[in-house]
Amino acid sequence: MATAVKTETFDQEVIQSETPVLVDFWAEWCGPCHAVAPVLDKIAEERAGEIKLVKVNIDEERELAEKYGIASIPTMILFRDGEPAAAVIGAQPKGAIERSLGLAS
């Protein structure tokens, strides 16, 4: 299950993480965000120990959304070593998300 991350916990949960972190920028009112959530849960579940999934509610954490240039949601950014490494915008099938993030085997 994804961890909700706030501005105060973002550095600890994402930037300082030794494990790559998939950050799901979403909002409660966003239908496609709810549609893609189980897909992201599945990706994280299949890669347990290899990747961590966290969620940022852009309505509650506007500062983070602005910092990472979130213009539309859902936007998923994969952080490696504290830096954004890849991103996917919009609800897409699991395989497309994995390919865009460089996770496809």
Residues with a known catalytic role = 30, 33
Task: State whether residue 86 is helix, strand or coil.
Answer: strand
Q: Cα 53–32–72 angle (5° rounding)?
A: 80
Are 2 and 52 in contact, with CB atoms under 8 Å apart? no
Token pair for 55: 């969620």
What gap in Å lies between CA 9 and CA 103, rounded to an integer?
25
